[in-house]
Amino acid sequence: MSNKNKTYNRKKVVVLFFFCAVTFFLLFVRLIDLMIFQSGYYTDKSTQLHERERSIKAARGRILDRNGIVLADNKTVCTISVIHSQIEDKEAVISFLSRKLELSEDFVRKRVEKYSSMERIRSNVPKELGDEIREADLPGVKVDEDYKRYYPYDALASKVLGFTGGDNQGIIGLEVIYDEVLSGEEGTILTLTDAAGIELEAASEHRKEPVPGNDLVISMDYNIQSYATQLAKQVMATKEADRVSLIVMNPQNGEIMAMVDVPEFNLNEPYTLTPEYEALRAKEEARKQAAKEAKAARNAGEESAEETEPEKPKSEEELRQEKLNGMWRNGCINDTYEPGSTFKVITAAAALETGCVTLSDTFSCPGFIVVDDRRIRCHKVGGHGAEDFTKGICNSCNPVFVTLGLRVGADRYYDCLKQFGLLERTGVDLPGEAGTIMHQKDAIGNVELATMSFGQSFQITPLQLATTVSSLVNGGRRITPHLAVKAVDEKGTQVESFEKQSGRQIVSEETSETMQMLLEKVVSEGGGSKAQIEGYSIGGKTATSQTLPRGSGRYIASFVGFSPADDPEVLALVVIHSPQGTYYGGQIAAPVIRQLFENVLPYLEK
């Protein structure tokens, strides 16, 4: 063929080729930019996209009593999940899991058939069952191990220890306050995943090991706590009381050896309402209803101006939560009460410290005392007659203490309460401590002062009373009640100490010694005689106060005791709410402390 293409055609093809070549070169430059200079940026971005962070729970630290007995522990439990895309035999998985986990087939089927990267079937499965399921080796079934909080003694010290929630965080009690110490640091596993979030088996893992939490050693003594719980339960049963609180502490340094508030609850099932609490709740409801009816009957004749607003009906959920909160309440610190005669210890100490009374002062009790226009009765209707100060405290004579209160005067009395630390919280290492409910300083008239002198018209927590009495008889140093002693790591090495510094001097040592002597007399010769134990010197004070509001016909019997009287090593307070039958503190509360001391004192000597 002769008509060869014209030169310009050939030239243009070459131009076209070079045009393509130049464009290719520009794309090559772009690739160099992307794959060398921007490579780091895009690699990071894609790694962020591909890596999934999976956390590894850290083992939560245990809680140990003073002798190393484990009060809160961890148990390995398993979580069973299914990975949709890896399941081979769906029916086999459904029937196997529903059989092993005792779940309905429908429940399992719904989860197995759900298209998701991972679906949880059941958590908190015992380790043995989890192992069994793992050994069956069904494709698509995943068994993950996890820790679960476990309390070996169920209800023991439930309100003190507290429990943890699903994320291993403390909900109440020590578990909350020392959450940081106990929780440790979560570890993480970084794995490469595909777009559906499924881990790539071949990919290497970046692993950051979890740091287990530290163990918390507390001053509680398992044996004392158990025995105290037993005593509290016993007196609650025999006296058909609503609640019984019992605190045992070391008055020298504030370490709490036992803190009981029955009815307690099972820490391993904190969301199950106990029958005891349900019964108590029903009792309270009935009382409330009766009070309302009585009030309605009173108002029936008159034109009642104020319509009692009907309470908003609570939802099932709210009601349940309210009940749970009630069950979890620690009456020793979360609730206040009128201390009654045990508070005379404070009045006596205030009078001694301010020099308003000496042991040789004499008083006369006609069975009442008139303050301003009020006639305040003594509990002994006929009166105690002539008595000296020691006798007065042994008799727990109201006119004597009213006289003392008036001698000290409102200002100084209030200042004493402040100095004793009664107006502040004790600072115990438990959550939700209630504050003292007290008159304003300038609102204290003679009548108020008189009632305060024998422990009425204000409220404190049982722990506040135990702490203040401890501080008055331990040589006069204000202590901070506490449970935590130290945090130790896995190897048992101490990593943190929670020892409390002894606080300020609140009364002189002489006053403190006088108080020891006086309270010893109360037990040996006075109203606290039922707390006597042969061979031990015991000091103490009884109290019988009314449940507020007054006129309910219900009482609170209490007793605070300590031993040895001249150098107290242990102090205990029992508060019995609404006992039936005999309700005098000296009759029913003092024997509880005696029984407690009978066992605890020899035990502590060892």
What's 441's DSSP letter?
G
Q: d(Cα 168, Cα 179) in Å, to the nearest integer?
A: 9
Closest CB to other proteins among residues 85, 289? 85
Q: d(Cα 244, Cα 229) in Å, to the nearest integer?
A: 9
Q: How far is the CB of 203 from other proteins (least distance, A)?
A: 8
The full DSSP string for 268-288 is TSTTSPPHHHHHHHHHHHHHH
Q: How far is the CB of 94 from other proteins (least distance, A)?
A: 21
Closest CB to other proteins among residues 7, 360? 7
Tell me, what amino acid is at 214? N
Catalytic residue among 341, 396, 453, 471: 341
Task: Indicate if 341 belongs to the active site.
Answer: yes
SS3 170: strand
Q: How far is the CB of 110 from other proteins (least distance, A)?
A: 22
Q: How far is the CB of 7 from other proteins (least distance, A)?
A: 9
Angle at 198 between CA 193 and CA 203, to 5 degrees: 45
Q: d(Cα 494, Cα 515) in Å, to the nearest integer?
A: 38
Interaxial angle between packed helices 446-453 and 410-419, expressed in degrees from 0 to 180 and rounded to the nearest 10: 40
Closest CB to other proteins among residues 43, 169? 43
The count of other CB atoms within 10 Å of the CB of residue 557 is 29
Q: How far is the CB of 43 from other proteins (least distance, A)?
A: 4
The closest alpha carbon to 483, from 174, 218, 179, belongs to 218
Residue 206 makes CB contacts below 8 A (sequence gap 6+) with 51, 189, 190, 191
φ, ψ dihedrals at 418, nearest 5°: -65, -45
Strand ranges, E, within 473-585: 484-488, 494-497, 539-546, 555-563, 570-577
Q: How far is the CB of 180 from other proteins (least distance, A)?
A: 38
User: 58: number of CA atoms within 13 Å, CB side?
Assistant: 23
Q: How far is the CB of 39 from other proteins (least distance, A)?
A: 5
Closest CB to other proteins among residues 32, 386? 32
Sign, CA torsion 575/523/464/416: positive
Residue 72 makes CB contacts below 8 A (sequence gap 6+) with 62, 63, 149, 150, 151, 161, 175, 267
Report whether 205 contacts 292 (CB < 8 A).
Answer: no
Q: d(Cα 529, Cα 591) in Å, to the nearest integer?
A: 9
Sheet with 243-249: strands ordered across: 256-262, 243-249, 570-577, 555-563, 539-546
Burial of 553 (0-12, 13-18, 19+ CB in 10 A): exposed
**Site residues for other proteins per CB under 8 A:** 1, 3-6, 8-10, 12-14, 16-17, 20-21, 23-24, 27-28, 30-32, 34-36, 38-39, 41-43, 45-47, 49-50, 85, 192, 194-196, 200
Q: d(Cα 61, Cα 73) in Å, to the nearest integer?
A: 8
Say how many residues make up the chain: 606
Closest CB to other proteins among residues 23, 67? 23
Q: How far is the CB of 115 from other proteins (least distance, A)?
A: 11
Q: How far is the CB of 47 from other proteins (least distance, A)?
A: 8
Closest CB to other proteins among residues 4, 606? 4
Report whether 154 contacts 266 (CB < 8 A).
Answer: yes
Closest CB to other proteins among residues 24, 271? 24
Residues annotated as catalytic (active site), given as ranges: 341
